[in-house]
Amino acid sequence: MTTASEAAEDRVTFSTASPFPILGIETSCDETAAAVVIDGTRVASSVVSSQVDLHARFGGVVPEVASRAHLDLLGPVVAETLVEAGLTGPDVGAVAATVGPGLVGALLVGVSAAKAYALAWGVPFVGVNHLEAHLYAAFLEEPDLEPPLVLLLVSGGHTLLVAMEGHLRYRLLGGTIDDAAGEAFDKVARLLGLPYPGGPAIDRLAMNGDPEAVRFPRAMRDEGYDFSFSGIKTSVLTYLRKHPDVAAADVAASFQEAVVDVLVTKARRAAREVGATGICLAGGVAANSVLRERVLDACIADGLRPFVPNRTMCTDNAAMVAATGWWRLRHDGPTPLSAGADPGLHFPGL
Ligand code: KG4
Ligand code: ZN
């Protein structure tokens, strides 16, 4: 039987003789990150410089502030990651950078720098899709992960349920018709007076709350694979207006419970219908404690393998970009230097 990774090997168009270190660069939003990953799986170094404090006082990411901070931080972050990996620039086999989706100004900083490094060192440049990179974060820890898998990608900008049929081969099952899951966390956090970013703040507060305190709606839970999270945000607002003295922890826990219930119910049903061997969790919201716990429980109950990357790999980082760069370089070859950033890039092939 040909395994999915062997099928992907069949289509190799660019040979990467081992050990093949790739420098990854990530600047799509508010993390300036660089990492060196060897052969697509071994993280030699990973440096993430978060701009969270810079944006916190504005209650969200300010694109212009993010671009300027990336400009200041990227050089030192790349230098640090190379030193930690024990490499000099020309030792790397390729430079991979996130080309989208994300904030256009922020993306351009990483893409331009990656092309300049690639030119200076005489190595290929590889443009990486940020959403696919979130998925490949799971392969860094579980290199033997074998499709078919169901991928639940939940971030600040996206909520996708995807059937991964082989390496770099996907089929879209569903997505959000309005807000992304992370966006719902961030908006509800603001209603509760919690600081930016809202997801981790709700996660922490919910630990002291009762998830059964309020029954918030589970939109479209038992129909299809699309999601809708704008209604729950309105329900929380209405509830807070009617019950101004409610314990914020109870609202946080009940809101989180409803979102996780919908996400896990759909991922589980998708895994059954697709005949998947496992469920792979990816994106910033995959750092959520209750979501992680429920996916693990569901996989145990259904005889599936759970692929839940550690928390630092769930949120934006460059190791996932370098790992994806390795797969893409082998499959598609180098990306032309004329290719630009694409802020609205979709999940590959969907
Ligand atoms: O993937 P990511 O780092 O950036 C994007 O590509 O969007 O995801 C950021 C999102 C934010 O909405 C943030 O609130 C959410 O992930 N997030 C969480 C948690 N940690 C981050 N949401 C719920 N619980 C968490 N622990
Ligand atoms: Zn992300």
DSSP letter at 176 equals B
| pTM metric for this prediction | 0.91
Quick one: which atom of ligand 1 is closest to the CA of 198?
A: 14
245 CA → ligand 2 middle, Å: 35
110 CA → ligand 2 middle, Å: 15
Phi, psi angles (nearest 5°) of residue 100: 160, 170
One pLDDT digit (tens) per residue for the chain, 350 residues: 444 444 554 578 898 899 999 999 999 998 999 999 999 999 999 999 987 777 777 777 888 888 999 999 999 999 999 999 999 999 999 999 999 999 999 999 999 999 999 999 999 999 999 999 999 998 888 888 788 999 999 999 899 999 999 889 999 999 999 999 999 999 999 999 998 889 999 999 999 999 999 999 999 999 999 999 999 999 999 999 999 999 999 999 999 999 999 999 999 999 999 999 999 999 999 999 999 999 999 999 999 999 999 998 998 999 999 999 999 999 999 999 999 999 999 998 77
Name the β-bridge partners of 26.
33
Q: Which residues surround ligand 2, an ion (CB under 5 A)?
A: 155, 316
284 CA → ligand 2 middle, Å: 6
**Which structure tokens are listed for 40?**
């697509």
* Closest listed residue to residue 321, CA positions, set 30, 46, 66: 46
- Angle, vertex CA 205, rays to CA 199 and CA 211, nearest 5: 95
Residue nearest to atom 2 of ligand 1 (CA): 284
Cα–Cα distances in angstroms (integers) from residue 246 to residues 205, 206, 210, 242, 260, in the given order: 14, 13, 12, 9, 22
CA distance 244 to 248: 9
Q: Which helix (H) or strand (E) holds 167?
A: none
**Which structure tokens are listed for 256?**
């989180």
282 CA → ligand 2 middle, Å: 9
Residue 122: is it exposed, middle or buried by C-beta count within 10 angstroms (0-12/13-18/19+)?
exposed
330 by DSSP, 3-state: which?
helix
Phi, psi angles (nearest 5°) of residue 319: -65, -40
128 CB contacts (<8 Å, ≥6 apart)?
24, 96, 97, 98, 99, 321, 324, 325, 328
CA distance 133 to 318: 9
CA distance 157 to 147: 25
Q: Which residue among 134, 205, 285, 312 has the greatest number of ligand 1 atoms within 8 angstroms of its CB, and so is best to mutate?
A: 285
7 CA → ligand 1 middle, Å: 33
Answer for the pair 31, 315: CB distance below 8 angstroms, yes or no.
Answer: yes
Quick one: which atom of ligand 1 is closest to the CA of 158?
A: 7
- Angle, vertex CA 96, rays to CA 92 and CA 98, nearest 5: 155
Residue with tokens 């490094």: 117
Is the sign of the CA dihedral 201, 173, 293, 320 positive or negative? Answer: negative
Residues with CB under 6 A from ligand 1: 29, 155-157, 182, 185-186, 197-200, 203, 283-285, 287-288, 315-316
342 CA → ligand 2 middle, Å: 15
Quick one: which atom of ligand 1 is closest to the CA of 316?
A: 3
Which one-letter amino acid corresponds to residue 303?
G
Residue nearest to atom 7 of ligand 1 (CA): 156
**Which structure tokens are listed for 328?**
């893409």
157 CA → ligand 1 middle, Å: 9
Residue nearest to atom 22 of ligand 1 (CA): 199
61 by DSSP, 3-state: which?
coil
CA distance 190 to 202: 10
**Which structure tokens are listed for 299?**
């996989």
Residue with tokens 């393998």: 305
